[in-house]
């Protein structure tokens, strides 16, 4: 009996397999309105859990497919590209899909307790609806091969993340969401202006098709202006210093689960879009050599790495401290992708994956502490090293990884970044990278000092360790932070292959 | 010479509207005005897309054997999507302003900043 069911299920799966690319986006997108109809908070949670796990399974299947049989191109509705919308999965997008869907799936078991604690009960099903929409948007940005479709998904993910942020308990969550809405919409509109200019000059919206047409037009002022609009738009979205002002408050006052998800995925997907713009869309042109885009990005990346880390030292709110640390870490990625060599691009791709893991783990640890002991400021962590040993141990691993200590993933990507700096022949860049790590040690130490070397305030009730449903996802991600450093080859070969494919595509003037 | 200006009249208007909206977003402290400035900014981009679609001597894109040259219908379709996105964003922005007014008692940016500085 069971064997029959199994066979039918397998037959279904093989039938569905060629359609995994659109299903990757369609499943969470369709699940979101269903979640509104469910209303009951526990069922909504379980439904979202199942949907995110299925989405993650599809992402892994896509990665396996790409590894075994090359890039996937899917024509939506049977309209051949470049006329119709094309979904395109190559190694880089498959990797980003896995990390986005993986974080979304890992956060869900954690979410039940944390969301019930932080979001007003009648609104919980709406929280999960927005969570699914945001996930669908981020996956859509990653998978689509159409420049305008990318904008639509960008807005889906952004609008839903404004709502996620505004659901925080603190009233400042509202103003943070509003400021993010203003700047985010400006950024997205800048992106559309850029796409419009490119469409005007080429008559196509398909990224691969654009890439083959742009080299012939690269001397036109319109195309240069388009690049500027696109870069500023995406720069706003990825919180490139000094366009980062929306980020710290948004991360600090959003519900913890929203912070974990947005911090680990949204900015990373924007970095992915920037890589796509520079290496695929404009890959065939010689903008890198002629317009000074690379120098500007290297400069902003380095300033961000130092300045944001310095600001982080003076924060009192734990989540704000980690938020500024995110701005600083985004500087690493932008620096890596702007250096223009394989090692730098590999470092950027690796850091997308690794930073997603460690920031998710760190915000989860803060979430555990907030749930158990109402931690908001750094002083509130006092004495928790002894009372919540499991949570705080993972916090220590996360911070060591932010600093880039050997045996953590932060070290691996930083090592590549240093190599890239040496290949580029610039010692100053290497110095800045090391300095930024040292500053990270200073703000990281403030957290560790409060947790381990300060006595618990008198009169606080005994704090218990967080429930298992929160600790398991926390240690899953923390464990990956160490495991992927010990077995670095796996992610390294993937990232390096993806970087080489991008570089070769760019050098040949056509998309791989 | 003045003819050249008028031939791209739409684009001049796009630039004027775009800068007007952008200026309102940056310079205004009132949150409702900010949202509307953002809307003007977006509408200018819609106009930009629509302006690029007509072709000299082209007819509306209706299939008929009497016509051979059609204007491009795709920008209209794109902008229909963008309008929907813009409306959603504006609605969300205004909804947030309502909640902010309830929580802070004001929608002036500088007053809210002063109130927030006093929070821990």
The mean per-residue pLDDT over the stretch B89-112 comes to 93
Confidence of residue B3 (pLDDT cuts 50, 70, 90): low
A162/B34 CB distance under 8 A: no
Confidence of residue A365 (pLDDT cuts 50, 70, 90): very high
> Considering the domain boundaries, does residue A502 fall inside one?
yes
> Considering the domain boundaries, does residue A257 fall inside one?
no
| Minimal CA separation from B114 to chain A, in Å | 12
Confidence of residue B2 (pLDDT cuts 50, 70, 90): low
**Chain-wide mean pLDDT for chain A?**
90
Does residue A511 have a pLDDT over 60?
A: no
pLDDT of residue A509: 47
Cis? peptide before A82, omega within 30° of 0: yes
> Considering the domain boundaries, does residue A432 fall inside one?
yes
Q: What percent of chain A has pLDDT over 70?
A: 99
The answer for A 81-140 residues in CB contact with B (under 8 A) is none
Q: Tell me which residue of A13, A24, A15, A17 sits closest to A94, measured CA to CA.
A: A24
Contacting residues of B for A192, CB less than 8 Å apart: 45, 82
B100/A174 CB distance under 8 A: yes
Does residue A305 have a pLDDT over 70?
A: yes
> Considering the domain boundaries, does residue A117 fall inside one?
no
d(CA A453, CA A455): 7
The answer for B 42-101 residues in CB contact with A (under 8 A) is 42, 45, 48-49, 52, 72, 75, 78, 81-82, 85, 88-89, 92-93, 96-97, 99-100
Q: A441: domain range?
A: 292-512
Confidence of residue A487 (pLDDT cuts 50, 70, 90): confident
The mean per-residue pLDDT over the stretch A413-418 comes to 90
Contacting residues of A for B25, CB less than 8 Å apart: 182, 186
> Considering the domain boundaries, does residue A349 fall inside one?
yes
The 10s digit of each residue's pLDDT in A431-467 is 999 999 999 999 999 999 988 888 877 777 778 888 8
The 10s digit of each residue's pLDDT in B44-59 is 999 999 988 887 777 8
A192/B38 CB distance under 8 A: no
Burial label for A437, CB within 10 Å (0-12, 13-18, 19+), is buried
> Considering the domain boundaries, does residue A485 fall inside one?
yes
Check residues A294 and A181 and name the one with the higher pLDDT: A181
Domains of chain B: 2-118 (1.10.287.3510)
The 10s digit of each residue's pLDDT in A146-158 is 999 999 999 999 9
pLDDT of residue B4: 64
> Considering the domain boundaries, does residue A359 fall inside one?
yes
The mean per-residue pLDDT over the stretch A21-30 comes to 93
d(CA A509, CA B85): 34
Answer whether A362 touches B (CB < 8 Å).
no
Name the DSSP letter for residue A87: E
Overall number of domains in chain A: 1
Answer whether B19 touches A (CB < 8 Å).
no
The 10s digit of each residue's pLDDT in A242-293 is 899 999 999 999 999 999 999 999 999 999 999 999 998 888 787 777 778 8
| Minimal CA separation from A123 to chain B, in Å | 15
> Considering the domain boundaries, does residue A140 fall inside one?
no
Contacts of A136 (CB under 8 A, 6+ apart): A25, A28, A29, A32, A153, A156, A157
């Amino acid at each position: 009996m069971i064997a029959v069911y199994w066979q039918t299920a397998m037959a279904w799966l093989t039938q569905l397999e060629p359609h995994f690319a659109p299903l990757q986006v369609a499943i969470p997108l369709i699940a979101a309105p269903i979640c509104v109809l469910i209303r009951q908070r526990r069922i909504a949670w379980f439904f979202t859990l199942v949907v995110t796990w299925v989405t993650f399974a599809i992402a892994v299947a896509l990665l396996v497919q790409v590894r075994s049989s090359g890039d996937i191109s899917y024509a939506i509705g049977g309209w051949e590209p470049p006329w119709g919308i094309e979904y395109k999965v190559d190694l880089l997008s498959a990797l980003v899909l896995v990390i986005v869907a993986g974080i979304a799936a890992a956060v869900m078991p954690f979410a039940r307790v944390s969301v019930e604690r932080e979001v007003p009960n009648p609104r919980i099903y709406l929280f999960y609806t927005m969570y699914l929409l945001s996930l669908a948007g981020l996956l859509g940005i990653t998978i689509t091969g159409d420049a305008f479709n990318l904008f639509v998904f960008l807005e889906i993910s952004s609008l839903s993340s404004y709502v996620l942020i505004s659901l925080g308990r603190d009233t400042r969550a509202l103003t943070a969401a509003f400021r993010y809405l203003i700047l985010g919409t400006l950024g997205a509109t800048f992106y559309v202006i850029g796409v419009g200019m490119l469409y005007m000059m080429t008559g196509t919206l398909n990224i691969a098709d654009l890439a083959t047409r742009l080299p012939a037009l690269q001397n036109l002022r319109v195309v240069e202006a388009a690049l500027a609009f696109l870069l500023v738009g995406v720069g706003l979205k990825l919180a490139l210093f000094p366009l980062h002002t929306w980020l710290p408050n948004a991360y600090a006052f959003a519900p913890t689960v929203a912070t974990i998800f947005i911090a680990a995925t949204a900015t990373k997907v924007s970095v992915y879009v920037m890589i796509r713009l520079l290496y695929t869309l404009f890959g065939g042109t010689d903008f890198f050599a002629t317009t000074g885009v690379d120098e500007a990005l290297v400069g902003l990346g380095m300033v961000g790495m130092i300045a944001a880390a310095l600001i982080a030292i003076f924060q009192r709110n734990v989540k704000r401290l980690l938020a500024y640390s995110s701005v600083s870490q985004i500087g690493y990625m932008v620096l890596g992708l702007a250096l223009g060599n394989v090692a730098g691009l590999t470092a950027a791709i690796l850091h997308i994956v690794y930073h997603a893991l460690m920031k998710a783990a760190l915000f989860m640890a803060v979430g555990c502490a907030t749930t158990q002991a109402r931690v908001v400021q750094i002083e509130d962590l006092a004495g928790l090293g002894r009372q919540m040993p499991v949570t705080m141990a993972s916090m220590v691993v996360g911070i060591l990884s932010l600093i880039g200590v050997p045996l953590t993933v932060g070290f691996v990507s930083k090592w590549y970044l240093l190599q890239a700096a040496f290949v580029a022949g610039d010692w100053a860049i290497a110095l800045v990278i090391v300095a930024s790590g040292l500053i990270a040690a200073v703000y990281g130490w403030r957290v560790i000092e409060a947790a381990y070397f300060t006595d618990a305030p008198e009169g606080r009730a005994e704090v218990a360790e967080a429930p298992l449903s929160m600790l398991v996802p926390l240690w899953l991600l923390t464990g990956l932070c160490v495991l992927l450093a010990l077995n670095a080859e796996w992610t390294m070969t993937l990232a390096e292959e993806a970087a080489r494919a991008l570089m070769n595509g760019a050098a040949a003037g056509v998309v791989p | 010479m003045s003819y050249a200006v008028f031939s791209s009249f739409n684009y001049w208007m796009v630039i004027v509207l775009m800068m007007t909206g952008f200026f309102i977003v940056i310079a205004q402290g009132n949150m409702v005005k900010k949202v509307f400035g953002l809307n003007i900014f977006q509408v200018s981009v819609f106009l930009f897309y629509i302006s690029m679609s007509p072709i000299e001597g082209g007819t509306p894109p209706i299939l008929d054997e009497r016509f051979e040259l059609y204007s491009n219908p795709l920008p209209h379709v794109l902008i229909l999507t963008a309008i929907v996105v813009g409306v959603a964003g504006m609605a969300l922005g205004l909804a947030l302003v309502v909640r902010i007014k309830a929580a802070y008692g004001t929608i002036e940016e500088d007053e809210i900043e002063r109130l927030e500085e006093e929070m821990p």
